[in-house]
Structure 1
């Protein structure tokens, strides 16, 4: 018996880890390649306000970037599933770099505001979906090259890392924009984002893993699943839930900025928001170590419930200190909720369509964020901060309600669902 168990443990030691299969350079390249996307929305806002002197146009332009991503993101994911990631990403890296430079020229030129908005949509439409495509790439590798007994836990750990990487980048991206805009000029963040896009998205596209196409696809690139499989209630409820999380991000940052502006310290909103971001990223990583008995559908309910409880405290905050407490509680809920939703997306992807599903989820976050920020900004300005602070509660309630619906839609145990490429 001892000999058998020793032999089994030795086999486990020799089983390749995802880090070894993909390689450390992959994770470094994929991390840096996300930065331009995190810089775009804030960079666009910064340069429009500086060049055109209009905060209103700046907000509309940021929303236009989100609109472009929302409309074209899932289509780009479908193209990556159909033709492979490498070809699609190489084209996008060059196109997006060019659009960022073109946008900068249009903003500083004499073109009407309508052209500025059109160029912003172009930035969003060509935005390389590095984060969703990285998730899809890794999930496909896990499904095809790792033992079945380790897939569910490895997918959970991978989604935890990817979500933590996203959160880190979305905190660091705006910070980098601020440094470049202050040290050089308002146009510098967009030129920097263009350079990073061509170099690092290009490197992400050309990485050996980019050649990897799901074995579920035939020689002509066709998937065995129908497009209609993307519209099953079990998958759409995940999209709705992640939309709620996106709306939360947009409404929370905007209403927090209004809250701090009322106290004459609008520039400190980012620091307070970082309290939630750091906690969220740390807890997101911790999801990988949760016991298997704590099922995915239960995690969604528990952590979105914590998020909802944290937002309800916004009705009572009266100082930056009490706001920090509320944000700390929200941070405990938001990261693990996002990880769980992406894990459901991976488990429920129709065969051969994981890139499409991951870009649907990624676009859900972007759409929610853009929509939430626009609505919260308008309400904060016309009605007041207290009214704007109700919006994160509504967003958290959407995420929680989707979790309740998901509980009843989860017929099989999600942990035991096969990982699909």
Structure 2
């Protein structure tokens, strides 16, 4: 057995990517998670409408939906570095512009256009990071090390994803309550210009493949539309819808109590158990298959949403959010693991970007819908929308159960 095969898998991966890679990738993905909630918080504060704030978040999500997968496809074709450099620079400047526009006399339409462009240029570090790591494990590490290391890396990435998407709103809340509603968006702009650019220039960003290499390794685009992959995308859109509806209804809940800026802080109650459970997925027994985990943990989210319908105070809200968190983290791990398994050859960045876009599309559209419901039908009705999201995730899991043969599940 070679020395490379005997080397511990994690150490081999760290030597390949460098010890700075994981901290850099963590910080670089924060702006993406802060964007939807940051825009919502800023617009609610600057222009006094939850509905308008949600609409701006939805426009950002529409931008991601229209352009996000194209950025992933461009990264598969031309390499991540030029794509991230262009998108990151444009996104950072647009975020800074939005912070000024929100408090300016410019009409709402200008603000909505800027929100769309922010979504369209969002540099989705999470899917790009997953694509880099999956590719490195598949090509640069010994065969015997790959399966368990891949599971561990995807569990870590999904746990970090969960931490970022839960604590992104917490950061927004801290900045908004201490410095002002403009601070989260300006902060996201600075993080993008510094850390996304650094991530783009990191040595793990491989040079683009030649046309001959692409022709030999790139699966047909039609394979991106296989039912098993599409149901995975549907599931992750449902998780994004859950994020957006739960945070926006929580914002309305706290606005009724005169403290909407604290919504991000309370939202952190979801994060602790979620991150712990997400990390633990790598050590769950293989007989507890991915299709079974999807249904089991989405049921936990569903239970937390049922509890949400029964609460009428801040303590009950924290309890229900904590319960939901125990299901969200593992569900995200499973969805990204399934996405990695089902990625057509040569299209991992495209698939991972589809999944990353799915979260933001679900989150932003839910923010818009939930904001409108809160304004017109009241907070109690808005609090029912996370339950709808949980049902979507559960039904997608049931569909996945029938689309996944037992012999092909792991």
In structure 2, C-alpha distance between the alignment counterparts of 1:114 and 1:348, rounded to whole Å: 40
Asked if structure 1 preserves the Cα contact closer than 8 Å seen for 2:177 and 2:261, the reply is: no
Query: Which residue of 188, 198, 206 maps to 2:201?
Result: 206
Q: CA RMSD in A?
A: 2.7
Q: How many aligned residue pairs are there?
A: 409
Cα distance, 1:372 vs. partner? Answer: 1.5
1:292 and 1:415 in contact (8 A); partners too:
no
Deviation at 1:413, TM superposition (A): 4.0
Shift of 1:67: 1.3
Picking from 24, 29, 33, the partner of 1:38 is 33
Give the whole-Å Cα distance in 2 for the aligned partners of 1:318 and 1:403: 30
Seen in structure 2, the aligned counterparts of structure 1 residues 265 and 109 have a Cα distance that, compared at 3 Å, is closer
Cross-structure match for 1:230: 224
User: How much has 1:172 moved relative to structure 2?
Assistant: 3.7
Equivalence for 1:314: 308
Shift of residue 10 of structure 1?
10
Equivalent in the alignment of 1:419: none
Residues 1:149 and 2:144 are matched in the alignment:
yes
Paired residues for 1:20-419 under 5 Å: 20-181=15-176, 183-184=178-179, 186-211=181-206, 218-219=212-213, 223-262=217-256, 266-411=260-405, 413-414=407-408
- C-alpha distance 206-109 of structure 1, shift in aligned 2 (>3 A): same
CA contact (8 A) 2:127 2:352 kept: yes
Greater shift after overlay, 242-251 or 336-345?
242-251
Q: Conserved in 2, the CA contact under 8 Å of 1:143 and 1:151? A: yes
Shift of 1:126: 0.6
Judge conservation of contact 2:155–2:281 (CA < 8 Å) in 1: yes
1: CA distance, partners of 2:311 / 2:180: 37
In structure 2, the CA distance between the partners of 1:339 and 1:119, relative to structure 1 (3 Å rule), is same
- Deviations 1:248-272, CA, capped at 9 Å, x for gaps: 1111222233344445554554343
> Which range moves more in the overlay, 31-40 or 237-246?
31-40
For the structure 1 residues 332 and 8, does the alpha-carbon distance in structure 2 shift closer, same or farther, using more than 3 Å as the test? farther
**Gaps in structure 2 of 5+ consecutive residues:** none
CA distance change for structure 1 residues 47 and 247 in 2, over 3 Å: closer, same or farther?
closer
Displacement, 1:77? Answer: 0.4
Q: Do 2:175 and 2:181's aligned partners in 1 also have CA atoms closer than 8 Å?
A: yes
Quick one: distance in 1 between partners of 2:287 and 2:3? 23
CA contact (8 A) 2:173 2:262 kept: no
Q: For residues 238 and 370 of structure 1, what CA distance do their matches in structure 2 show?
A: 19
Residues 46, 326 of structure 1: CA spacing in aligned structure 2 closer, same or farther, 3 A cutoff? closer
1:396 Cα offset (Å):
1.0
- Per the alignment, do residues 108 and 223 of structure 1 end up closer, same or farther by CA in structure 2, a change over 3 Å counting? farther
SS in 2 for 1:24: coil
Question: Could you say which residue in structure 2 is the equivalent of 1:3?
Answer: none
Query: Which consecutive unaligned segments of at least 5 residues does structure 1 have?
Result: 1-6, 417-421
1:212 Cα deviation (Å)?
5.5
Take 2:304 and 2:148, find their aligned partners in 1: how far apart are those partners? 29
Rg larger in 1 or in 2?
1
